[in-house]
């Protein structure tokens, strides 16, 4: 058999290879050694247990059918005694029930014989990565500092630091997390942060948007389908759960998921197996779930739109995100972050904001949260000449108006009847409006949200210019 080229990917990895068939053992041992692993062999399950009692191995590869202790028994014992060893089973008698059972007990993979040795080397490489990450997480839980880089989650405000702490705390666990936040608060970014700082970071991060599809397609999207399972199912397809195997699956806007699909989702979460639409075959999955929703799921449960049992499964850990208005301190940092992001993406220098524009940006409330701020920065940069600092004229009307209305409402207390103050305010506001507004009276009335007649009456009452001449 041709040896696998030595790329040293397994250097440092200790493998125990268990099989009563010597030909397989020898060929595989050589391939693994070529890849840099240290390999010890055993010809039976019982012998393997003795070897394992003396020393820790990162990965154990074992045949299933052997005289004496079977590969499954060895797996069971190993998972009790050496939780951090990854076990790969191999068999010439592939059987789906066995495969499911093995995965449930904790096997890393189940490989059917015969296989090219290169394939097994790759499986061992992945298993070893998982083994190392799991040990890292164990160390972390034991208190060893873990300096996960969450730098891409910009913000230093108290409210945001609480979010970061929570992310650091729950990421290494496999708990299901529900990220709750209004539109644009960073739900998807936080879900990604949970993935990249977890022990699954080398696995896939897959997202499924629960609001965009009708129930039948949603099911096929999540669980996959067989060829011809429904009209349009031209070929067999893996679902998002399968694609996310050994990684993280984000159920985005889970509050929108149709009730019909909720029942099936619940079963998958409970049993950790999926069945592709049109197939009765159970496929084991190893997925960490993160869900996102605009609000808490309790209200939906009360309204009969969400299953309570599913809510309990999804809300093992809740991670509420603050609105940007609740973390105004972060606006300057976010502006800088988006300025450099735009600069990098467009390859064009963006001069930044002049003080008056910055003041308006700091005063604004951002109903669309971080996403809105990002768009404001992007569009201002796109409109700027690339040289002069950006002024208020390049900000959206809403931001400028909000700034103006803030100035207008700057009033003190003068111990006067409210009706007088309101009258004074109306007169001063209308006189400003007359001076500033460049359109017709009819347009001004529309902007103020009153009829033309009512505007005319007010102007007359306040003795403001133009009232006599423009009687409606």
Ligand X SMILES: Nc1ncnc2c1ncn2[C@@H]1O[C@H](COP(=O)(O)OP(=O)(O)OP(=O)(O)O)[C@@H](O)[C@H]1O
CA-nearest of 19, 91, 6 to 60 is: 19
Do 99 and 283 touch, CB atoms closer than 8 A?
no
Identify residues 438-467 at the interface with Mg ion (CB under 5 A): none
Rounded to the nearest 5 degrees, what angle is found at the Cα of 151, between the Cα atoms of 145 and 155? Answer: 110
Residue 186 or 403 having the CB closest to ligand X: 186
Q: Is 62 helix (H, G, I), strand (E, B) or coil?
A: strand
Measured distance CA(85)–CA(200) in Å, rounded: 16
Which of 334, 342, 367, 339 has the alpha carbon at shortest distance from 353?
Answer: 339
The pair of structure tokens assigned to 281 is 């075959």
Within 322-341, which residues bind ligand X (CB under 6 A)? 337
- The residues with which 42 forms a beta bridge, in sequence order, are 18
Measured CA angle at 111 (ends 108, 117), to 5 deg: 110
Q: Which stretch binds ligand X (CB under 6 A): 45-53, 232-240, 351-359, 366-374?
A: 366-374
Question: Is residue 370 within 8 Å of residue 186, measured between CB atoms?
Answer: yes
Which structure tokens are listed for 206? 């897959």
The region of 102-110, 183-191, 306-314, 383-391 touching Mg ion under the rule CB under 5 A is 183-191
155 binds ligand X (CB under 6 A): yes
Closer Cβ to ligand X, 155 or 239, answer by number: 155
What track of x and - describes contact with ligand X for positions 112 through 151 (by CB under 6 A)? ----------------------------------------
Report the relative pairing of strands 237-238 and 224-225 from DSSP bridges: antiparallel
SS (H, E, C) 135-152: HHHHHHHCCCCCCCCCCC
Window 208 to 267, contacts with ligand X (CB under 6 A): none
Q: Which stretch binds ligand X (CB under 6 A): 102-110, 347-355, 368-376, 389-397?
A: 368-376
Residue 24: enclosing H or E segment and its boundaries? helix 22-34
Give the nearer residue to ligand X in terms of CB position, either 61 or 163. Answer: 163
Instruction: Annotate 359-383 with b (16+ C-beta within 10 A) or e (fewer).
Output: ebbebbebebbbebbbebbbebbee
Decide whether 13 or 321 has the Cβ nearer to ligand X.
321
Applying CB under 5 A, among 46, 136, 188, 309 the residue interacting with Mg ion is: 188
Smallest distance from the beta carbon of 457 to ligand X, in angstroms?
Answer: 44
- Residue 173 has phi, psi (to 5 degrees) of -85, 170
Pairing of strands 38-42, 14-18: parallel
Count of residues touching Mg ion (by CB under 5 A): 2
Among 126, 183, 245, 279, binds ligand X (CB under 6 A): 183
Q: Which stretch binds ligand X (CB under 6 A): 132-140, 187-195, 408-416, 456-464?
A: 187-195
Segment interacting with ligand X (CB under 6 A) among 79-87, 345-353, 367-375, 415-423:
367-375
Q: Which of residues 9-28 bind ligand X (CB under 6 A)?
A: none
Partnered with residue 355 across adjacent β-strands are none
417: left (phi over 0), alpha (psi -120 to 50) or beta: beta
Pick 15 or 324: Cβ nearer ligand X: 324
Asked if residue 182 binds Mg ion (CB under 5 A), the reply is: no
- Which of 29, 187, 195, 240 binds ligand X (CB under 6 A)? It is 187
Closest CA to 306 of 258, 243, 348: 258
The residue with its CB nearest to Mg ion is: 188
The interface mask with Mg ion, positions 128-167, x = CB under 5 A, is: ----------------------------------------
Instruction: Give the shortest CB-194-to-ligand X separation in angstroms.
Output: 12
Q: Which does 186 bind (CB under 5 to 8 A by kind): Mg ion, ligand X, none?
A: ligand X
**Does residue 153 belong to the site contacting ligand X (CB under 6 A)?**
yes
Residues that bind ligand X (rule: CB under 6 A) add up to a total of 15
Per CB under 6 A, contacts with ligand X among 48-77 are: none
Q: Binder to ligand X among 374, 390, 392, 456 (CB under 6 A)?
A: 374
Question: Within 10 Å of residue 418's Cβ, how many Cβ atoms?
Answer: 7
Residue with the CB atom nearest ligand X in the bound state: 186
Nearer to ligand X, 370 or 445 (CB): 370
SS3 401: helix
40 CB burial (10 A radius; 0-12, 13-18, 19+) = middle
Distance, in Å, from the CA atom of 305 to the CA atom of 412, rounded to the nearest integer, reads: 48
Identified binder of ligand X from the candidate list 45, 71, 172, 181, rule CB under 6 A: 181
By a kind-dependent CB cut-off of 5 to 8 A, residue 153 interacts, out of Mg ion, ligand X, none, with ligand X
Residues near Mg ion (CB under 5 A)? 187-188
Residues near ligand X (CB under 6 A)? 153-155, 181, 183-189, 337, 370-371, 374
């Amino acid at each position: 058999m041709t040896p696998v080229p030595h790329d040293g990917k397994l250097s440092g990895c200790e493998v125990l290879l268990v099989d009563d068939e010597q030909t397989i053992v020898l060929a595989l041992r050589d391939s693994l050694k070529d890849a840099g692993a240290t390999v010890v062999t055993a010809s039976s399950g019982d012998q393997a247990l003795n070897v394992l009692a003396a020393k820790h191995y990162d990965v154990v590869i074992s045949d299933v059918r052997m005289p004496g202790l079977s590969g499954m028994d060895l797996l069971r014992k190993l998972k009790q005694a050496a939780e951090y060893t990854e076990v790969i089973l191999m068999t010439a008698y592939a059987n789906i029930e066995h495969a499911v059972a093995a995965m449930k007990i904790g096997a890393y993979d189940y490989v059917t014989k015969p296989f090219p040795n290169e394939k097994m080397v790759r499986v061992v490489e992945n298993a070893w990565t998982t083994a190392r990450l799991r040990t890292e997480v164990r160390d972390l839980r034991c208190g060893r500092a873990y300096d996960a880089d969450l730098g891409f989650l910009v913000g230093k405000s108290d409210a945001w630091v609480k979010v970061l702490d929570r992310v650091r705390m729950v990421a290494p666990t496999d708990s299901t997390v529900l990220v709750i936040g209004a539109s644009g608060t960073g739900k998807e970014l936080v879900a990604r942060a949970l993935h990249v700082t977890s022990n699954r970071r080398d696995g896939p991060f897959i997202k499924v948007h629960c609001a965009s599809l009708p129930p039948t397609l949603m099911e096929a999207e999540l669980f996959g389908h067989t060829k011809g399972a429904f009209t349009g199912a031209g070929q067999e397809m893996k679902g998002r759960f399968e694609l996310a195997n050994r990684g993280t699956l984000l159920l985005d806007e889970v509050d929108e998921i149709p009730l019909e699909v909720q029942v099936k989702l619940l079963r998958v979460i409970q049993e950790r197996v999926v069945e592709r639409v049109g197939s009765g075959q159970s496929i084991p999955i190893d997925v960490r779930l993160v869900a996102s929703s605009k609000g808490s799921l309790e209200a939906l449960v009360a309204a009969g739109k969400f299953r309570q049992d599913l809510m309990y499964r999804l809300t093992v850990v809740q991670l509420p995100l603050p609105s940007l208005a609740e973390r105004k301190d972060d606006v300057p940092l976010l502006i800088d972050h988006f300025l450099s992001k735009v600069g990098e993406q467009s390859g064009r220098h963006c001069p930044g904001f002049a003080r008056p524009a910055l003041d308006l940006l700091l005063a604004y409330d951002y109903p669309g949260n971080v996403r809105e701020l990002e768009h404001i920065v992007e569009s201002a940069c796109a409109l700027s000449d690339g040289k002069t600092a950006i002024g208020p004229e390049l900000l959206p009307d809403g931001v400028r108006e909000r700034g103006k209305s803030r100035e207008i409402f700057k009033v003190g207390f003068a111990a006067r009847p409210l009706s007088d103050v309101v009258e004074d305010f109306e007169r001063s506001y209308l006189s400003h409006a007359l001076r500033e507004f460049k359109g017709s009276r009819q347009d001004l009335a529309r902007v103020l949200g009153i009829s033309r007649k009512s505007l005319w009456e007010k102007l007359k009452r306040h003795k403001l210019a133009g009232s006599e001449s423009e009687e409606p």
